[in-house]
Amino acid sequence: MTLDTPRAPAPAERLRWLEDPGRDFPFYNGAPVGLSAWQWLFVLTAVAVGFAVLVAPIPWPAGPLGAMIPAVLFPLIPMVALAQVAPGHWKALFGKVGGRELRLMFGFALLNIVVTMSVGTIVYALTDVTSNAANAQLSGMDTAGRIAFFAKTIPQLFGEEVVTLLPFLAVMTLLSSRFGVGRKGAVVGAWLVSSLLFGLIHLPTYDWNLIQCIVVIGTARMVLTLGWILTKNIWVSTGAHIINDWLLFGGGLLGAGLVGKV
């Protein structure tokens, strides 16, 4: 598969050490293709539909297969929409995966855990926080259920990257083309807005705790998005996200097991 690689921005337009020099973000400046406002609206509507399919109380078939269906549809719906408005160019979101990319996945995952725990500790000291109900669900599962749970997180976390990074590119396009914001400002604006949106879609997960979702989850998202900003490769941020969550869920599971033996 040939990957679309938009031309590299001029050094003065880059966020210096935050971006690799050889590749630019797709779509915002017409490379590999430009998307109109209506096309972006179509893509963002598909993002919303994909998220609705994931969280709506739809009576999917019971068992692991039924649980996998919404997790797969979550990213598939917006990716199909992108493929409709940018035929053949949806792959501009992706890049190669080699040794450097794998190291970056682990690096950003570990950085995210350190930053999130630090921010979470401060927020916990100042206000109430809500734990992720998935931790309790996971501890109550048998081995087969836990395997199915971790398997389901792969497409679901890829979906979280899709529904973050497509709005990132849409906001970057809006700021650049409609408001005349320079590239650096557009990147920072898209980074902040997409991180805020990511925090807000986690409100149901954390019992509508607005401060926790904006500050803790939003900060975690900003760290994960760094992998995308650096490489313009959704595989890097997805891999970091999966490693991050698997380490946290696995650590919680191990901790629950040790407590149970006391």
Query: In Å, what is the CA distance from 1 to each residue of 30, 62, 107, 147, 165?
Result: 21, 36, 27, 31, 21
Whether 178 is in a domain gets the answer yes
One-letter amino acid for residue 71 of the chain = A
Domain encompassing residue 197: 11-86+101-261
C-alpha angle 66-84-20 in degrees, rounded to nearest 5: 90
Whether 114 is in a domain gets the answer yes
Taking the C-alpha atoms of 214, 76, 1 and 99 in order, what is their torsion angle to the nearest 10 degrees?
A: 40
Q: How many domains does the chain have?
A: 1
User: Please, which pLDDT band fits residue 126 given cuts at 50, 70 and 90?
Assistant: very high
With 50 as the cut, is the pLDDT of residue 2 above it? no
With 70 as the cut, is the pLDDT of residue 258 above it? no
74-83, 119-128, 129-138: the lowest-pLDDT one: 129-138
Whether 92 is in a domain gets the answer no
Whether 5 is in a domain gets the answer no
pLDDT at 140: 86
Among all chains, which residue has been given the structure tokens 């087969």?
144
What confidence tens digit (pLDDT) does each residue in 54-93 have?
Answer: 999 999 999 889 999 999 999 999 999 999 999 999 999 9
pLDDT at 260: 45
Nearest Cα to Cα of residue 241 among 256, 228, 254:
228
List strand residue ranges (DSSP E) for 34-92, in order. Answer: none
Query: In Å, what is the CA distance from 212 to each residue of 41, 46, 130, 216, 229?
Result: 29, 27, 8, 5, 24
Whether 91 is in a domain gets the answer no
Whether 93 is in a domain gets the answer no
Structural contact between residues 214 and 120, judged by C-beta atoms closer than 8 angstroms: no
pLDDT at 201: 96
Whether 211 is in a domain gets the answer yes
With 80 as the cut, is the pLDDT of residue 149 above it? yes
Whether 194 is in a domain gets the answer yes
Secondary-structure percent of the chain, ordered helix, strand, coil, rounded to 5? 75, 0, 25
Q: Which residues contact 70 (CB under 8 A, 6 or more apart)?
A: 53, 54, 58, 60
What confidence tens digit (pLDDT) does each residue in 8-53 have?
Answer: 787 778 898 899 988 999 999 999 999 999 999 999 999 999 999 9
What whole-number distance in Å separates Cα of residue 9 and Cα of residue 186? 13
What whole-number distance in Å separates Cα of residue 141 and Cα of residue 70? 20
pTM assigned to the model: 0.93
With 90 as the cut, is the pLDDT of residue 137 above it? no
Structural contact between residues 198 and 72, judged by C-beta atoms closer than 8 angstroms: no
What confidence tens digit (pLDDT) does each residue in 168-218 have?
Answer: 999 999 999 999 999 999 999 999 999 999 999 999 999 999 999 999 999
User: Please, which pLDDT band fits residue 5 given cuts at 50, 70 and 90?
Assistant: low
Higher model confidence: residue 249 or residue 6? 249
With 50 as the cut, is the pLDDT of residue 235 above it? yes
Taking the C-alpha atoms of 217, 24, 90 and 112 in order, what is their torsion angle to the nearest 10 degrees?
A: -20
User: Please, which pLDDT band fits residue 247 given cuts at 50, 70 and 90?
Assistant: very high
